[in-house]
Amino acid sequence: MQPTATIRRLKAAGAPPRLSAFAQWADRHFKWLLVAPAVLLILALSIYPLLFSLVVSFINYDFQVPGHAFVGLKNFERVVFDPVARWSLLLTAWLSGISVAIEFVLGLLVALTMVRSFPGRGVIMSILIVPLFISPVIVGQAWTLLLQRPFGPTNYILTQLLGQEVTIGWMTERPWLYISLIIADVWQWTPFMFVILLAGLTAIPPNLYEAAELDGVNAWQAFWAITLPHLGPMMLLALTFRLLDAIRMFDTIFIMTGGGPGTQTYTASYYLYTVGFTQFHLSQATAGSWLFLIFTALIVTLLVRRLLKVEPV
Amino acid sequence: MAAVAPARRRKRRSLPIGRILLLGFFLVFVLWPLYWMFNTSIKPSDDYLTVPPVWFPAAPTLVHYEAALFTYRGLDGLINSLIISLSATVLSALIGTLMAYSLARYNTGGRHLSFWVLSQRFLPPIGIVLPVFLIYRGVGLYDTHIGLILAYTVFTLPVSVWMMFAYFRGMPKSMEEAALVDGCTRWEAFWRVAVPLAAPGIVAAAVFAFIACWTEFFFALILTSRTAFTLPTVFRAFIGFQGAQYGEAAALAIVSLVPSIALGVLAQRHLVRGLTLGAVRG
């Protein structure tokens, strides 16, 4: 063992070497020196930008209007009274809500089939987690290749399966473009739910089920009486983490629909991106991102705090 | 124990038909887009628009890989991605381990400091990236490798800190205490005793930090342009497929997903901890 060897070497050297004044000071403040680099980096590249953007959201910072005059709440007003902004927030809520719900149910079902070991389980496990390691950009690209007319084979396959001509514009027609975005999200993130819920399921003591079986409880009752209560904290954790990521949805939209047609697939992030980086109304975009930040912070305080009380770290 | 083992084995019966169907359906759902992308990447351009579609090309070709890497500058993106992701990963793992050790062993800053780091994980990137863009333009970090490395280090710090925090918490203190009693400084107890013992955890945290950097798009889109662009941003060239570059897009996708999938599958033992920032032990 290396550490004991180290200690032995130090012992052999006799009394602990006398430390210089600096080393003594460093040893006294050791715990603060260790956190310093991380704290300084976060301060410089996260807290300072946030404060800076708070300033920007109250002044004029627009590549189309010169000067940096103080404008009060005007930037916030512009966002709040922009129908596209409200639409994008609504769409963010709908898309993330539906995607996360589907991912949860599907993930739970797949996790339930994978609890008990069977031949080939390891290989299947490795395959099922693959989407987690792919850039969302590529996921969007892959589904575009499958769905987009005339290249994608999806309509052809559906035509063969259903026995009648299918000509769906997956990337251009409502509601299909929303369905396409949800499918891409479900494909990528169902494994997330599955992995966490499976960890929760395998942690339930199997003798509970054995006892239930002896008592003549059927599988459905056992699910309600044993699985759900034990899995509760894990479900909350998986849902919270996933929801907080889902409301940022941007990459797949950027690749698959470009927010279009028109503004029909603008999510909150996509809206703020276009306002800031294609229209260059930077102060309006920062004001909007602060509003979005407040929404997110509300979800975090409501869900994460409760969650970490349930689940002692 | 001997009595339990055969009972367990009897439980290992084959799956009921409903479960097989569900699992089979889900496997096909996961594999189909990947197969189609691979198929597209080796398909000659003449096979793109045939009806019925070509399920496997009769004459596979690598021309799309060549075009994606050289004509569309995919190779430059790949090299930039490697430089930036590796540097950010090393920095994040190093700085994150330092902080995590202090939090786990000395309870530095109580719960406030650790939750402050955690909250960074849940900030919407759009709120950070707009001002960072303005600041970077002011100080000359826009479209530089260093700029994106720093941004990615901060972006992956919550994962590194919390994964390592959980890891150190799960490690017995006795070795470090023995080292301190024997006259080691606190730094020596950390660097020579705790870090070697925590090496597997550090590697796992680094793998997840690397995957996060490798697949990141939003920061790279806004903070880089023609010099420090990463692999995911190269896909902008294929949006809408106006030039019918189906094969090029698919080829570049295959090139870029191989490293992260390989790493991810290798580190899958730590996946649950990685996904939940160490909150759940897999």
Say whether pLDDT at A311 is over 60.
Answer: no
Q: Can you tell me the ipTM of this complex?
A: 0.89
Say whether pLDDT at B157 is over 80.
Answer: yes
pLDDT digits (tens, 9 = 90+) for B12-40: 455 688 888 999 999 999 999 999 999 99
Cβ-Cβ contacts under 8 Å, B135 against chain A: 48-49, 52
Q: Give the closest residue to A50 by CA, choosing from A266, A290, A269.
A: A290
Cβ-Cβ contacts under 8 Å, A255 against chain B: 235, 239
pLDDT of residue B8: 46
Computed from CA positions of residues A134, A137, A143, A145, in that sequence, does the dihedral angle turn out positive or negative?
A: negative
Which residue in the set B118, B182, B276 is minimally distant from A7, CB to CB? B182
Average pLDDT over residues A70-74: 88
Q: How confident is the model at residue B49 (pLDDT cuts 50, 70, 90)?
A: confident
Residue range(s) occupied by CATH 1.10.3720.10 in chain B: 66-275
Q: How confident is the model at residue A26 (pLDDT cuts 50, 70, 90)?
A: confident
Cβ-Cβ contacts under 8 Å, A2 against chain B: 192, 196
Express as a percent the part of chain B with pLDDT over 90.
65
- Rounded to the nearest integer, the mean pLDDT of chain B is 89
Express as a percent the part of chain A with pLDDT over 70.
91
Closest CA in chain B for residue A243: B122
**What part of B 91-120 touches A (C-beta under 8 Å)?**
95-96, 98-99, 101-103, 105-106, 108-109, 113, 116-120
CATH (residue range B66-275): 1.10.3720.10
Buried b (16+ CB within 10 A) or exposed e, A64-83: eeeeeeebeeebbebbeeee
pLDDT of residue A23: 85
Q: How confident is the model at residue A313 (pLDDT cuts 50, 70, 90)?
A: very low
pLDDT of residue B233: 95
pLDDT digits (tens, 9 = 90+) for A102-121: 999 999 999 999 988 888 89
Cross-chain residue pair B246–A145, CB shorter than 8 Å: yes
Least confident of A87-91, A233-237, A254-258: A233-237
Task: List the domains of chain A with CATH numbers.
Answer: 16-46 (no CATH), 77-136+184-310 (1.10.3720.10)
Q: How many residues does chain B have?
A: 282
**Phi and psi angles of residue A59, each rounded to the nearest 5 degrees, phi first:** -120, 175
Closest Cα in chain A, distance from residue B282 (Å): 6
Reading phi first (left if > 0) and then psi (alpha if -120 to 50, else beta), residue A174 is in beta
Q: How confident is the model at residue A10 (pLDDT cuts 50, 70, 90)?
A: low
Q: Give the closest residue to A252 by CA, choosing from A178, A195, A155, A174.
A: A178
Measure the CA angle with vertex A64, ends A61 and A68; round to 5°: 30
Which residue in the set A41, A191, A196 is minimally distant from B154, CB to CB? A41
Question: Is the minimum CB–CB distance between B141 and chain A shorter than 8 Å?
Answer: no
Computed from CA positions of residues A125, A114, A134, A181, in that sequence, does the dihedral angle turn out positive or negative?
A: positive
Q: Tokens 């691979």 identify what position?
A: B38
**CA count, 13 A, side-chain hemisphere, B212:** 28
A229 vs A150: which has the higher pLDDT: A229
End-to-end CA distance of chain B: 24
Cβ-Cβ contacts under 8 Å, A114 against chain B: 23
CB atoms within 10 A of CB A2: 10
